[in-house]
Amino acid sequence: MTVNTQPATERPDPRAFGLPVVEQAEIPSELRSLVARVHDLIDAVANTEVDGDTLAEAAATVEGLTDRLNVARRQIGTMVLRELPGGDTEYGTITNVVSGDTNPAAPPLFLDATEEGVRGEVTLNTVYQGPPGLVHGGWIAAMLDQAVGSASSLATSPGLTARLEVDYRRPTPLFTPLEVVARVTGTERRKVYVTGEIRVNGEVTAEATALMVRVEVP
Ligand SMILES: CCCCCCCCCCCC(=O)SCCNC(=O)CCNC(=O)[C@H](O)C(C)(C)COP(=O)(O)OP(=O)(O)OC[C@H]1O[C@@H](n2cnc3c(N)ncnc32)[C@H](O)[C@@H]1OP(=O)(O)O
């Protein structure tokens, strides 16, 4: 088993598969602002105890906004091209539920390339709550899935998660900076072996081992 044997030049261009590509810098600041406002709105809705009249008014306002925004929708599978610190680039789906630039439901967790693999920081609100005050285990797995996928993609070429095993070592708290890391440990033909961790103040709360299978490029 070897590490990092796949040259970056094999990365497929999503346009070859009919998927539109948006450069990250082209995303309008107004859209970024809207995504951030709606991210906060989801948290507000999940926690509000205001009176019924206010709730009814808010529902009507949001329904009207939804109709206005749905007039022009992106193609499903639209990709975003990100320039990473250090000069590397990465494609990701623009609505990715963990990292998508335009997804208000995403935490969002943005991962940068490091010498070892990838690393990102994120702080989660109650929208991601499982047990009281703690991050839902499924979201922990989702963030680790994203991290191992990104590490594999950057070190080799894009792939799909074939297997993901998560060990939950300690409760992962809300409203606390989380460090998410992942790195490739080996490759074998199209198989890429990856590990990932979530840390709180340096202490590991969850760790994953994963097998990614690289997508075959015709
Ligand atoms: C644009 C960029 C974005 C870049 C950004 C990327 C970030 C994305 C992060 C999110 C990632 C996801 O959520 S992905 C979504 C969740 N995952 C999925 O939906 C995947 C569903 N599964 C599949 O589509 C398929 O099973 C595949 C693609 C994984 C593999 O199918 P395949 O291509 O036909 O390959 P196959 O011949 O079966 O397997 C190849 C090798 O892997 C082994 N193998 C396959 N599955 C397993 C397994 N579960 N456990 C052990 N080993 C396995 C086989 O034995 C074989 O080994 P050998 O004979 O070579 O020894």
User: What's the confidence (pLDDT) of residue 21?
Assistant: 97
User: What's the confidence (pLDDT) of residue 88?
Assistant: 81
205 CA from centroid of ligand 1 (Å): 26
User: What's the confidence (pLDDT) of residue 87?
Assistant: 79
* Per-residue DSSP letter, 2: B
Give me the domain span that covers residue 143.
Answer: 1-218
Which residues in the chain land under pLDDT 50?
2-9
CB 120 within 8 A of CB 113: no
94 CA from centroid of ligand 1 (Å): 21
Q: What CATH number corresponds to the domain at position 32?
A: 3.10.129.10
User: What's the confidence (pLDDT) of residue 76?
Assistant: 97
User: What's the confidence (pLDDT) of residue 4?
Assistant: 45
- Amino acid 182 reads A
Q: What is the pTM of this model?
A: 0.93
Probe residue for ligand 1, chosen from 213, 214, 215, 217 as the CB with the greatest number of ligand atoms within 8 Å: 213
User: What's the confidence (pLDDT) of residue 176?
Assistant: 98
Q: Is the complex ipTM higher than 0.95?
A: no
Domain total for the chain? Answer: 1
213: tokens are: 């299978």
